[in-house]
């Protein structure tokens, strides 16, 4: 039986307790700048298996390993010039690099789903990096929610989704970015964007001076999180690009020209059309809308540029037909 859930606001004592739990093979949810992660010792088969069990996540779906700095990540992944350029510009930050895994890395095969590659990130959240230093080991951490459901941007979201399936949540307040990290595959000569996120393809292309290819969904053998067709889903059905109301819907609105008349209720992603504000609000408002009396969630059109690419990626997966292999 899982222990009763403990939610602890950040303090030195709470940090030490969380680090001790991770070293002991237990699960700890913690904040990053993107979303809350469900952490476990990435080198322990048993600990990583606990992530899959708590989330009810398919085991063929690899996890991201988190590190306090680039040098720690380089002990487990092979960095080429492209990886170093991106790490120098965007780390710490919302960028995950998929790189060849070093032969001597002790990272669990469950973490990498048996692939010869490893997904690595250095988060920008001060509390997350402090926890990684205190735990003194790589931490595998997908989003801290049931597989396929809305990602959590507050400790309360984690508790509502996972409850006593985990023992501790380190509460650092709301996440600033609100969307999962961008994931870039550098295991071949091509630069492939596996998951859009807070860092855009144009920003990556500008640093590397080459084209960035957008990968297609993969429901069979994904190379990173965020590639399954159905993902990030609320309980209510989601209707995209809504410009006219339908009965018993709540609207997530965006921009000054958004049509809101006739909808039963309205929540604003951004009244000014600010894509960063919309990204930060997206998952929190999906959680809020999902708890209302309405029968469906309508989403206003969001321009497919800048962070709008990542927002629309999440919404497309949230509105996709639900499947038994939905992920998180």
Q: Residue 320 — very low, low, confident or very high, per pLDDT cuts 50/70/90?
A: confident
Could you tell me the CATH number of the domain that includes residue 179?
3.90.870.10
Tens digits of residue pLDDT in 96-151: 999 999 999 999 999 998 899 999 999 999 999 999 999 999 999 999 999 878 99
Query: In terms of domains, do 175 and 242 share one?
Result: no
User: Does the residue 326 lie in any domain?
Assistant: no
pLDDT at 1: 36
User: Does the residue 254 lie in any domain?
Assistant: yes
Query: In terms of domains, do 133 and 261 share one?
Result: no
User: Does the residue 324 lie in any domain?
Assistant: no
Contact 226, 108 (CB under 8 A): no
Query: In terms of domains, do 196 and 286 share one?
Result: no
298: containing domain? 238-319
Taking residue 167's Cβ as centre, other Cβ atoms within 10 Å add up to 17
pLDDT at 288 over 80: yes
Q: Which residues contact 271 (CB under 8 A, 6 or more apart)?
A: 253, 255, 256
Q: Residue 322 — very low, low, confident or very high, per pLDDT cuts 50/70/90?
A: low
State how far the Cα of 31 lies from the Cα of 50, in Å rounded to an integer.
19
pLDDT at 4 over 80: no
Q: Residue 324 — very low, low, confident or very high, per pLDDT cuts 50/70/90?
A: very low
Q: Residue 164 — very low, low, confident or very high, per pLDDT cuts 50/70/90?
A: confident
User: Does the residue 207 lie in any domain?
Assistant: yes
Query: In terms of domains, do 170 and 250 share one?
Result: no
Alpha carbons within 13 A on the beta-carbon side of 246: 14
Query: In terms of domains, do 170 and 291 share one?
Result: no
Query: In terms of domains, do 90 and 43 share one?
Result: yes
Query: In terms of domains, do 252 and 295 share one?
Result: yes
Query: In terms of domains, do 195 and 242 share one?
Result: no
Tens digits of residue pLDDT in 173-184: 999 999 999 999
Tens digits of residue pLDDT in 247-287: 999 999 999 999 999 999 999 999 999 999 999 999 999 99
pLDDT at 25 over 90: yes
Q: Residue 219 — very low, low, confident or very high, per pLDDT cuts 50/70/90?
A: low
Q: Region 44-53: what's the mean pLDDT?
A: 93
Report CA torsion sign: 65, 67, 73, 75: negative
Is 103 buried (19+), middle (13-18) or exposed (0-12) by CB count in 10 A? exposed
* Burial letters 224-258, b for 16+ CB under 10 A, else e: bbbbbbbbbbbebebeeebeeeeeebbbbbbbeeb
How many structural domains comprise the chain?
A: 2
Residue at a domain's end among 182, 214, 246: 214
Q: Which residues contact 325 (CB under 8 A, 6 or more apart)?
A: 58, 219, 228, 230
Query: In terms of domains, do 34 and 124 share one?
Result: yes
The three-class DSSP label of residue 83 is helix
User: Does the residue 188 lie in any domain?
Assistant: yes
Q: Region 214-232: what's the mean pLDDT?
A: 66
Query: In terms of domains, do 27 and 164 share one?
Result: yes
State how far the Cα of 325 lies from the Cα of 52, in Å rounded to an integer.
13
Residue at a domain's end among 180, 214, 248: 214
Query: In terms of domains, do 97 and 154 share one?
Result: yes
pLDDT at 327: 43
State how far the Cα of 229 lies from the Cα of 267, in Å rounded to an integer.
26
User: Does the residue 124 lie in any domain?
Assistant: yes
Query: In terms of domains, do 66 and 209 share one?
Result: yes
Q: What is the residue-averaged pLDDT of the chain?
A: 91
User: Does the residue 1 lie in any domain?
Assistant: no
User: Does the residue 169 lie in any domain?
Assistant: yes
Beta-bridged to residue 291, according to DSSP, are none
Q: Is the pTM of this model over 0.85?
A: yes
Could you tell me the CATH number of the domain that includes residue 279?
3.40.50.11030
């Amino acid at each position: 039986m899982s222990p009763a859930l403990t939610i602890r606001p950040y303090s030195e004592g709470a940090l030490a307790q969380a680090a001790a739990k991770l070293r002991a093979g237990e699960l700890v949810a913690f904040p990053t700048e993107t979303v809350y992660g469900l952490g476990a010792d990435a080198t322990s088969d048993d600990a990583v298996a606990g992530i899959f069990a708590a989330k009810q996540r398919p085991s063929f779906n690899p996890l991201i390993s988190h590190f306090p700095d680039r040098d720690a990540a380089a002990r487990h992944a092979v960095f080429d010039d492209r990886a170093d350029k991106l790490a120098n510009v965007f780390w710490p930050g919302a960028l995950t690099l998929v790189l060849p895994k070093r032969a001597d890395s002790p990272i669990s095969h469950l973490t990498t789903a048996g692939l010869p590659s490893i997904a690595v990130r250095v988060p920008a959240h001060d509390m997350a990096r402090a926890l990684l230093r205190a735990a003194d080991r790589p931490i595998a951490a997908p989003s801290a929610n049931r597989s396929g459901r809305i990602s959590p941007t507050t400790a309360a979201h984690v508790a509502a989704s996972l409850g006593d399936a985990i023992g501790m949540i380190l509460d650092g307040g709301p996440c600033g970015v609100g969307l999962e990290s961008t994931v870039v595959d550098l295991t071949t000569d091509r630069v492939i964007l596996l998951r859009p996120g807070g860092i855009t393809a144009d920003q990556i292309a500008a640093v590397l001076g080459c084209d960035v290819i957008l990968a297609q969904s993969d429901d069979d053998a994904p190379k990173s999180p965020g590639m399954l067709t159905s993902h990030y889903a609320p309980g209510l059905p989601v209707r995209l690009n809504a410009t006219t109301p339908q009965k018993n819907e709540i609207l997530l609105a965006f921009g000054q020209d958004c049509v809101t008349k006739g909808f039963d209720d309205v929540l604003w992603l951004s009244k000014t059309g600010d894509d960063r504000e919309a990204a930060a609000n997206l998952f929190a408002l999906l959680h809020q809308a999902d708890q209302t009396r309405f029968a469906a969630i309508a989403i206003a059109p969001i321009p497919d540029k800048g962070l709008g690419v990542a927002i629309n990626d999440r919404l497309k997966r949230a509105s996709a037909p639900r499947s038994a292999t939905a992920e998180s």
